[in-house]
Structures are given as structure tokens and as C-alpha cells.
Structure 1
Amino acid sequence: MRFGLHGLGIGSGSRPEIIDVTARQAERRGFGTLWCGEHVVMVDDSSSTYPYSDDGRIAVPATADWLDPFTCLTYAAAVTSTIHLATGVVLLPEHNPVIMAKQAASLDRLSEGRFRLGIGIGWSEDEFDALGIPFAGRAARTADYVHAIRTLWRDDPATYDSRYISFHNIRVHPKPTQSHLPILGGGNSDRALRRVADWGDGWYGFNLDSMSAVRDRLHRLTGFCTDDGRDIADLHVAVALRTPARADVAELTDLGVTELVLVDAPPDSPDECINWVDGLADRWIP
């Protein structure tokens, strides 16, 4: 079991001095991964239901600073040398997959192979509308983009032709440092787990409300993997609980969870951030 920290890129976690000290101290204290999420657009009154809370509303205010996750994680990569970096998650159907392939590979190069690309299909129709991207069909578009990105990372020159993206005999460099840069699927629904089994190298279960929910979701994911002739043990399984308890770690390990992600907002000052990271490490990391 490794422990991740999901707190950079938003609010106080968007400030350079907070990213610097948090990343350095998290690495020093043995955290395995720094996670950073994405929203390009936020609205005051969403017409869509946020799927990771009981009231259907996201806790982050629309006025909060929210960094581009690749920029944030590249900054963190520059001040660290061993801790892994992951998007948790980037909303893939909102992006051009050729540009995304270059962004992800560039971060993997600059971090010397420490990056994981966590992706989701998105939930906010308002965001898609603002970007001029169809909200309908985003799951199919995501799967197509995943295959296109892997083609670009693998082939040189690369050719891909599908309903959503086509390119012929193009070269996109750099290639990732890792021979197989992992792509993790986010989302807790049956459909999200089905997508992970279909094309994912791992799963990021976010803001699960109980250990019972973890057991249920892993049971479903195991079944989908079996249907596809895959072994869930080959996946990187990261979960974030709403109210994690130290006593849960043993069961999470037995369930095959690779990483417990702690979701918390960093304090406003660098000195407080050191104490914050130390407090989390003292509680969670053996």
C-alpha cells in the first residue's frame, strides 16, 4: 500500500510556494503520488449533477483558482525526484488527443518517467458547452482518444483513423520515458468501471463514501475484468475515501488496493504546509 496526496492545483494549492514546499515535503515523508485534478470551466449555478457528493454539488467554489494540471505537476516535478505524479483526473474528451499525447509525454520526460495519466469523461454539461464540445457521446470519444494517444506514443510515424479523430503518417515527439505510460480511468459508476476494464491500466475511485462502497466497486471491477479476460491484480487501483480511517488500511491492502489517496486542501503558508504534510505522514505512513 502506498499513499497519495490530492491537494495541489486548487485554491491555496495553486500558489507556487505552496506547490514547492508541499511537493518537497511529501516526497521527503514517503508519499507515493501527488495528484492534481482539472476543470477548465466552473459556473456559479451548475445545470449538471456532481457525481461525487450527496447533494450533487461540487465543494470547490466557482471563484477558486484552479491550475492546469500539467502545468502544476510539471512545477512539482521540477522540485522533486522520486515521487510520482498523476492527473486525478483530466477530462480527456475536452482536449485534442494529439496535443494531449504531447503534453503527457512531455511531463513524463521532464519527470523522468514518474507520470500517470488519470482521465475521466467529465460530468459538467456547462463546461462542455463553454468549450464548444458535444456533451453527448463523450464516453465513446474518450475511448477513441485513448487508443489514438497510445498509437502516437507507440508508432513513428503514426496513423489513426476513426469517427472522432484521424491523422496519417505524423510524428509527435517526445515519446514518453516509460515504455508504457499508464492511463487510469476515473469514475465510480458501473459504466466507468466497464471503461477501466476495456482500456485502462488502472482505476481512480474518487470520494467513495464507505469501505462498503470500495468493496462493492472492486467486486464489480473484478467481474468486468474477468469478462474481458483481464486480471484486476494487473491494474493500479487508487481510491480516495471521504472519511478514511487508519484501521481501513489493512482491509484495503487485502482487497488489492494499490494506493490510498488522501484528499485535503493545503494551508495558506509554507510553514503550515510542512506541519500539515508531517501530520498526514505521521498518521498514515508506517
Structure 2
Amino acid sequence: MRIGLLSFVTDESMPIVDLATEAEARGFESLFVPKKAHLPVSRRTPWPGGVLPDTYKRTYDPFVALAAAAAVTSTIRLGTGICMAVARDPIITAKEVASLDAISNGRFVFGIGYGWNAEEIEDHGVPFASRAAVLREKVLAMKAIWSGDEAGFQGEHVSFEATWSWPKPRQRPHPPIVMGSRASAANFRDIADYCDGWMPIEYFGKTEPTRCCPHSTHSRRSLIDTRAEGWPARSWCSSRPPGVVALEPRSLVRRR
């Protein structure tokens, strides 16, 4: 069994260098950190867990934090849990992902998500209702940059001419892309379409185990019903309480 950590690394938490060093020394397989570039004061979109934890307001940039962690470790895998790639420039994000994967000698895991806060996403110029489609194009654009010496992309939401961008990721064709989401047929279709794994998100404070457990009847049915060609062989299953949580790799059901 491989166990990892997910921690909100902030200006008030245990320093990331100490956390990464101690986690690796104790045999943890991975360390994930979340990202919030900013958090609107408006609470028009309520946090799904009730009262918004203060940690959401104070997170470090994950790529800076994980670069510091990479410098003092050698074996532990390092990941974003999650990076809200839908609200980021894909050209810049592709560069950051590739750089971090190269610096860490191929230890990066790219955790992404749709985002839950409408105000936050809209502040970045992305309509909340379109975020799934925008995220898909941004990930596909990044894959193009990582895979080719010259890469361009033309889509409805993302468009740029052929460009050069090095370094390329150490892991080929790119680091694992893991979707942080709840269980639904639509989310599973996206995971099968352009991701490599799933990081389930729990329904905080609600008794809905069939919605969040990858081994539940609901989740298995959603996985089997999708028309995707195949399924990632790995998921990261999180559990409460928030803060530092255990992540246990589990197998997803493959479509027959």
C-alpha cells in the first residue's frame, strides 16, 4: 500500500521544506498541495463544506512550493491537489509543469479540477457554466506543447500559433494528469478523454457514500456506462478531515 499526504501549505502552516523532508523520511509515497491564486470576499458561492476554512485564503503558489520541496527530496512524488488550470494561462502553466517535472527528475503529478467558486473563476475571464469545456481545451493545448518541438492550438476557447517551449517534461509524454472531482458520468467521461487518473472529492458533511466512493455501485455504473475507450488504472482516494489527509491509490473499474 502506498500512502501520501495532501496539505494546505500556507504562511501559517508547517514550512513546505520541513513537511516534504519529514514526509519522505517517514516513507510517504506522495505529497500534494492545493492552489488558490485568490479568493473573492463574496460568499455568493458557498463552500460545499459549510464555513470556509481560513487556509483557503493563505495558500502558497503550488509550483513555487513544490519546487522548494523538490530541492530537498529525491524520491517522494509531488503533486497539485488541485491546480485550477481552468483559470490559468495554458502556455505559462505548461512551462511551469514541465519545469517542475524536470527539476524533480520526473516526480510531478498534475492534479487539476473544474473549480467550485463561480466568482473566482469569472475573475479570470472564464464563464462558470463553460469551465468544463475551457478546462478540456487548456489541457489539450498543454499536451500539444509538451509533446512537440513546435506546437500550436486552435480551439473555441484556446488559440495560439505554433510556438517553441522547453524544457519538456521528464516524464513522457507528460506527467500524470489527475482530475479532482466528484463521481458523475460526465466527470468520468472527461477523465477518460484527457486525464490519467481520478482524485475523488468527498461530499463534506453529507451522507452520500455512493457519490464519492470509487468502489460504490453508483460509481461503478457510471464508469461502465460511459462510452470512453478505456479508464485510468489508478485513482487517489481522499478522506476527511480536511488539512492533511491520507491518499490511498486504488484501482478504477475498466470499461469492458
Q: TM-score if structure 1 supplies the norm length?
A: 0.76
2:139 aligns to what SS in structure 1? helix
- Which sections of structure 2, spanning at least 5 residues, go unmatched? none
2:200 aligns to what SS in structure 1? strand
Query: Which residue number corresponds to residue 9 of structure 1?
Result: 9
RMSD: 2.6
Query: Which residue number corresponds to residue 101 of structure 1?
Result: 94
TM-superposed CA distance for 1:11, in Å, is: 4.9
Tell me, yes or no, if structure 1 residue 49 matches structure 2 residue 46: yes
Q: 1:133 to 1:256 in 2, by over 3 A?
A: closer
- Return the letter of the residue paired with 2:2: R
- Return the letter of the residue paired with 2:240: R
Q: 1:39 to 1:237 in 2, by over 3 A?
A: same
**Which residue of 158, 167, 180 corresponds with 2:160?**
167
TM-superposed CA distance for 1:50, in Å, is: 2.9
Tell me, yes or no, if structure 1 residue 157 matches structure 2 residue 150: yes
TM-superposed CA distance for 1:118, in Å, is: 0.6
**Which residue of 75, 81, 85 corresponds with 1:92?**
85
Distance 2:26 2:201 in 1: 23
TM-superposed CA distance for 1:12, in Å, is: 2.8
Tell me, yes or no, if structure 1 residue 203 matches structure 2 residue 198: yes
Distance 1:205 1:221 in 2: 14
TM-superposed CA distance for 1:42, in Å, is: 1.5
Distance 2:182 2:92 in 1: 27
1:136 aligns to what SS in structure 2? helix
Distance 2:192 2:97 in 1: 22
Higher helix share: 1
Distance 1:170 1:34 in 2: 32
TM-superposed CA distance for 1:19, in Å, is: 1.3
TM-superposed CA distance for 1:122, in Å, is: 0.9
TM-superposed CA distance for 1:44, in Å, is: 3.8
Tell me, yes or no, if structure 1 residue 187 matches structure 2 residue 181: yes
Query: Which residue number corresponds to residue 219 of structure 1?
Result: 220
RCO (CA 8 Å, sep 6+): is it higher in 1 or 2? 1
Query: Which residue number corresponds to residue 240 of structure 2?
Result: 242
Equivalences for residues 14-93 of structure 1 within 5 A: 18-51=15-48, 53=49, 55=50, 57-60=51-54, 64-93=57-86
Deviations, residues 51-94 of structure 1 (Å, cap 9, x unaligned): 4x2x3x433356x4211111111111111011001101111110
Any conservation in 1 of the 2:110–2:177 contact (CA below 8 Å)?
A: yes
Deviations, residues 93-117 of structure 1 (Å, cap 9, x unaligned): 1011111100100000110100011
Any conservation in 1 of the 2:234–2:251 contact (CA below 8 Å)?
A: no
TM-superposed CA distance for 1:126, in Å, is: 1.5
Deviations, residues 216-246 of structure 1 (Å, cap 9, x unaligned): 3641453256x3121x4x43200111269xx
Distance 1:119 1:60 in 2: 22
**Which residue of 107, 121, 129 corresponds with 1:114?**
107
Any conservation in 2 of the 1:8–1:19 contact (CA below 8 Å)?
A: no
Any conservation in 2 of the 1:237–1:256 contact (CA below 8 Å)?
A: yes
- Which sections of structure 1, spanning at least 5 residues, go unmatched? 258-286
